Structure 1
Amino acid sequence: MKDKVLPRRATLVLLVAAFQATLAGAAEIPHLVRQGTATQLIVAGEPFVMLAGELHNSSASSMAYMEPMWEKLVALKLNTVLATVTWELVEPAEGQFDFSLVDGLLQGAREHDLKLVLLWFGSWKNGVSSYIPTWVKKDLERFPRAQGKSGNNKLVLSPMHEASWKADARAFAALMRHLRRVDSDERTVIMVQVENEVGLMPESRDHSAAAEAAFRSPVPRELMEYLKENKNALLPEVDELWASTGYRESGTWTQVFGDTVWTDEVFMAWHMARYIGRIAEAGKAEYPLPMYANAWLVQNDREKPGDYPSGGPVSRVMDIWRAAAPAIDFLAPDIYLHDFKAVCASYVRSGNPLMIPEARQGPEAARNVFWAIAEHDAMCFAPFGIEDIDEDHPLIDSYELLYQLMPLIVRHQGTGRMAGVLQERPEEEGTTIRVGDYNANVRYNRQAKGQTDMSYGLILNVGPDEYLVAGNWFQVNFSPATPGPRHAGILQVWEGVYEDGRWVPGRCLNGDETAAHWVVKLPPNTHDLFAGSNRPRILQVTLYRHD
């Protein structure tokens, strides 16, 4: 039978349609989509996970400082750099905008095939207002400060004043308008952070005259409507406050949420988020890139609002932020705490996607990135002060291995067929994880002596009875999790790499390297000096079942 030949006109129509589809994909700006339970960042029509690093705060204020830095960032195997853009340098005089530093960042990133996330340091940074322009700093009448109980001015703008948020929003809108003009085709900038670690310290709330009047006024109708509409899905921290007053549907802040310091935090969260949401709205009206707000975290159970920036997007008030700032796409934790798993879990509640714009840069970064991406479908992992990292840092091997696996990772995000492995303390023994049709029985490295040899990695179910096990310093065997033959055996284990998305096998592992096909081991053999026990690797595992 001959192949069917399309008429010339039909062929032309198909070619034109394909060309138009290609153009449409090329014209798409970065955006967020849902895949199963995951939220993915789409860049140039494809899911994109940021293997990233954040620069020190002042690095991007000088292109001369940055010039020798780009090659190092490439050597660290990054695909994305998080860099600051500050209001004080963008608008040095009111109404006069200077985007030369932004253009320098764009040029440097493009020349080195890197993407950018820009961090807008505007009204607030780490609970203070140090990045506001000098003309804003000096004018306390027009741009009032938050005040303590004694009436003293804080070094932080009050969120209660229209003049302040409008000035910030005008500058941010000008930045986004500039990006639309110079970057909408290249799409170098793929996301924007609005402000940085906002909130008030050491007071639990603003006590200025405007804030006191607002605190004694009824809770805004928009917030009450949100609470009523989402009553059955609220996070427990906000639900407990509201429940303490019998779920009152109107009243002052203390009447609705109770007379505690936690009500102060809810009050501040509403007003901080409302302020920042308006800035994000102004920016998105010009160029609607994904936007998020990041949080300085609660450090321990003893801390109260004001010990950390009160009103910031900590996980306990995520519902308040959602109600107040719908233009903010998600909330992101800056994770410097040792309990990495718990922080991640607290931020993926209620469907909030995980992005980690700041993280510890120690050797634990090489392990934590696997947990964030494999266990929680994180769209970004970025150690802070990335330019400090030496070129022998274990994070480089982790990024290189994850880059190999990325086509498979993004394909399986949100499907329940991928799991992370992370040992946080040497005394931990292991865990059992359901992945696909099997339970993965993971045994951690009980001989771990420090951060560099504790267990980390991922387990990915790529097909019936087929798994990828990647990372280092753990062992895993499998048992059936579905009806059928009672036992699972290892059919074969291959060591290998992915090159341009194609599996290239290396050694076929057996004997000592698998305990006679009883267990999958990373590293396969600690005495194999040639292969190198300290580096993560990928193993392809095929299973079978028997009675």
Structure 2
Amino acid sequence: MRIVESLLAAALCCAAVALQAVAAPPVSQLRSVHGATQLFVDGKPFLVRGGELDNSSASSPAFMAPVWPRLKAMNLNAVLVPAYWERIEPTEGRFDFSSVDTVLANARKHDMRVVLLWFGSWKNSMSSYAPAWVKRDQSRFPRAQTSDGKGLEILSAHAGENLKADIRAYVALMKHIRDTDTLRTVIMVQPENEVGMIPEARDHSAAADAAFKAPVPAALTDYLAAHKDTLVPALREAWAAGGFKTGASWEATFGAGPATDEIFNAWFEGLYTGKVAAAGKAVYPLPAFVNAALIRPGRQPGQYPSGGPLPQVFDVWRAAAPAIDMLVPDLYFPNFVEWALKYETPGRGYFIPETGRVGAAEMAANAFWAYARLNAIGVSPYAPEYLSPEEQKVLGDANDVVAQLAPQILAAQGSGKLVGIRPPTAFDGKTDLSPQKLVLGRYTLDVHFKAPPPISIGQKEETELPGSHGGFVLQTGPDEFLVAGTGMYVYFGTTDGAQAGIESVWEGRYTKGVWVPGRCLNGDETNQGRHLFVPTAKFTVHRVRLYTYR
């Protein structure tokens, strides 16, 4: 009888495991679809309306308790949350995942996904989130050093024990997520955070200096040789100046100076990060990205985090860390468009994990442009929990528009039927408000960021619209468009010499995928059919139908 009961129990256990395996949604992944790389969650394309928590917020469930409803009210569908090494492995070899489990439980409760940020060896270049047992044992876990021999609060990428400890903790985390997150709440991971060396361009520890004098690894030069015609210009020029050497020291290969120090540091920190990512993917293959702190004008390597995943060393990172799916920017500078375009890489996903230091309407305008122009899988303002109630309302309204239009955006990305609009701004804050001309099908769109002069007054000069400017236009039919954004006038024409007229403009919204019309704006709001006006910081959907005449 006991044998029969044991066999029955074993059968039921196997059946339960099989049922769970069948019921569990698929692991999220990046897929190439109609010319765009998109994130698939639960087997369907997913557009991230994210928010990255301030670094310390998630460390306290009590602090987060009133934050979660505010994040939900901002219409976020994903939150980027640190996983702190010091909290997960406070004692070597003993893991405590309660901080992560609490975050995931609250995210599920509020119908949000999670992107985990591994604060392991490095966060903003430093090693401030390493456990105390790592920080205190500097003989076993050595630090990077300056050229005059001073230790830094930065774990050295040239120390095998550092890498071994980081991998062990990260793999434990990924196994835990794999085994407990059966609803697939976690959709992406970021191993390490804003890696790079400061205040010098590379590590000068004894191990690093020995590696610098040794030949450049063949794994790097072989990659460079295989991609010689497509290397980023700065890297190719540095290698070409030395005659495309292989088997030589770093300076003999790329020349002497801080640029070579940065290439060197990019290789070793990229190799380290890539090994962490690869070990995690081996147990749970979530999409992985690394983020970069960008460069202020005039700064040299070491005056910014040298060797991070920056445009001038993209190829070094791709050679060193093939397990990393995306190299992505943290975009806080005014010249958002300029920097965003530097990270455009066909065939790879595009994600903006951190952005801010501007008003919510401008963050929304940047996001709308990125979804359209860059086929972004997501945009994530930093520390949304600290925005004012007014700014949270603006961001929430903008996210509501993106949520309504997500199916249309995802279907149009990469198809040529979706265009982004954003006037470029220089680092000094000066914005180029020149009109922009776009083409969709047979129609042209002249977008202005200044108000036209009143016809009755005869004024000649346009006046700048206040606030932010930008958005997107999505073609849904031969003569039909959806327009969303802030602070712009859109004039319509054709490519074949005919004149374009506005048949109708409707305000409205999509509810469960069905268009629900609001006001028809065919009178004063369109200046008697002359243009479409998209108000500043008032986020809504405009459905436009055009016709042509001679």
TM norm structure 2: 0.90
Aligned positions of 1:30-69 closer than 5 A: 30-69=28-67
How far apart are residue 392 of structure 1 and its match? 2.3
Q: Per-residue CA shift, 1:503-544, capped at 9, x if unaligned? A: 111222223222222212213xxxxxxxxx641221111222
1:436 counterpart residue number: 441
Separation (CA, whole Å) in 1 of partners of 2:21 and 2:105: 24
Residue-pair matches, total? 512
Given candidates 486, 489, 500, the residue that maps to 2:501 is 489
2:207 counterpart of 1:193:
no
- Aligned equivalents of 2:258 and 2:444: distance in 1? 45
Match of 1:274 in 2: 271
1:539 to 539, 542, 550: 542
Aligned to 2:528: 516
CA offsets, 1:173-210, max 9 Å, x none? 00000000111x20111111111111110111111111
Q: Distance in 2 between matches of 1:25 and 1:329?
A: 27
Amino acid aligned to 1:211: A
C-alpha deviation, 1:396, in angstroms: 1.5
Aligned equivalent of 1:220, options 212, 217, 222: 217
- Aligned partners of 2:143, 2:284: CA distance in 1, in Å? 30
Give secondary structure in 2 for the equivalent of 1:400.
helix
> What are the Cα deviations for residues 10-45 of structure 1, in whole angstroms up to 9, with x where unaligned?
xxxxxxxxxx9x987953101000123321000011
Preserved CA contact (<8 Å) 1:127 1:156: yes
The correspondence for 1:461, drawn from 461, 472, 475, is 475
Which residue does the alignment assign to 2:8? Answer: none
- 2:9 alignment counterpart: none
Which has the larger displacement, 64-73 or 441-450?
441-450
AA of the residue aligned to 1:496: G
Where do residues 257-296 of structure 1 align in structure 2 (5 Å cutoff)? 257-296=254-293
Note if contact 2:82-2:119 (Cα within 8 Å) is conserved in structure 1. Answer: yes
3-state SS of the aligned residue for 1:397?
helix
**Identity percentage of aligned residues:** 46
Task: Tell me the amino acid that sits aligned with residue 471 of structure 1.
Answer: G
- C-alpha distance in structure 2 between counterparts of 1:461 and 1:418, whole Å: 6
* Deviates further, 62-71 or 347-356: 347-356
The partner residue of 1:354 within 350, 353, 367 is 350
User: Runs of 4 or more off by more than 6 Å in structure 1?
Assistant: 22-25
Q: Distance in 2 between matches of 1:427 and 1:361?
A: 20
Matches within 5 A, 1:134-533: 134-183=132-181, 185-300=182-297, 302-363=298-359, 364-393=362-391, 394-423=394-423, 424=425, 425=430, 428-445=433-450, 447-448=463-464, 453-481=467-495, 484-523=496-535
Q: CA RMSD in A?
A: 1.9
Q: Aligned pair in 2 of structure 1 residues 24, 444: CA closer, same or farther (>3 Å)?
A: farther
Q: Secondary structure at 2:439's aligned position in 1? A: strand
Letter in 2 for 1:436: G
Question: CA contact under 8 A between 1:77 and 1:400: conserved in structure 2?
Answer: yes
Q: For 2:229, what is the secondary structure of its paired residue?
A: helix
Moved more, 415-424 or 143-152: 415-424
Equivalent pair of 1:426/1:445 in contact (CA under 8 Å): no
Cα distance in 1 for partners of 2:444, 2:240 equals 40
Amino acid at match of 1:520: L
Read off the aligned partner of 2:433 and give its amino acid letter. Answer: E
Which residue, out of 90, 96, 99, partners 1:98? 96
Task: Quote the residue 1:86 is aligned against.
Answer: 84
Given that residues 426 and 449 in structure 1 are in contact (C-alpha distance below 8 angstroms), is that contact kept between their aligned partners in structure 2?
no
Q: CA deviation at 1:248?
A: 2.6
- State the TM-score, normalized to the length of structure 1: 0.90
Consecutive unaligned residues in structure 2, runs of 5 or more? 1-17, 452-462
Change in 2 beyond 3 A, CA 1:23/1:103: closer
Query: Which amino acid is 1:508 matched to?
Result: C
